[in-house]
Amino acid sequence: MLGSAAIPASATSVSFAIPAALMATIAGHPIRAVFQESGNFAPSTSNSIVVPALGNSAVGASTSFAAEELVSVYGSNLAGSSLASATPPPGVMPLPTTLGGASVTVTDSRGVARLASLYLTSPGQINFVVPVGTAPGLALVTLTSTAPLADVAVTPVRILIVSVAPGLFNAAQILRIRANGSRSLEDASAPIAMGPDTLYLVLFGTGMRNRTSAANVICTINGTGLPVLYAGAQSQFPGLDQADVLLPASLKGAGPVTVMLTLDSQVSNAIPLEFQ
Report residue 225 CA to chain centroid gap: 25
* Pairwise CA distance, residues 23 & 4, whole Å: 15
Burial of 111 (0-12, 13-18, 19+ CB in 10 A): exposed
CB 159 within 8 A of CB 56: no
What does the pLDDT look like over 18-44, one tens digit per residue?
Answer: 565 565 566 656 666 777 766 667 777
CATH code for residues 167-275: 2.60.40
pLDDT at 65: 98
Pairing mode, if any, of strands 65-66 and 157-162? parallel
pLDDT at 76: 80
* Pairwise CA distance, residues 255 & 241, whole Å: 27
* Pairwise CA distance, residues 145 & 122, whole Å: 11
* Pairwise CA distance, residues 53 & 187, whole Å: 31
pLDDT at 97: 94
* Pairwise CA distance, residues 134 & 239, whole Å: 13
* Pairwise CA distance, residues 262 & 245, whole Å: 13
pLDDT at 150: 52
* Pairwise CA distance, residues 82 & 205, whole Å: 24
Mean pLDDT, all residues of the chain? 87
Could you tell me the fold of the domain covering 20-35+43-162?
A: Immunoglobulin-like (2.60.40)
* Pairwise CA distance, residues 119 & 167, whole Å: 18
What does the pLDDT look like over 115-145, one tens digit per residue?
Answer: 999 999 998 899 999 999 999 999 999 999 8
pTM of the full structure: 0.83
CB 170 within 8 A of CB 258: no
What does the pLDDT look like over 55-67, one tens digit per residue?
Answer: 999 998 888 999 9
pLDDT at 72: 96
Mean pLDDT by 10 residues, the chain (276 residues): 68 64 60 69 71 91 94 87 74 78 95 97 94 98 76 83 97 96 96 95 97 94 94 93 97 96 96 96
CATH 2.60.40.10 in the chain is located at 20-35+43-162
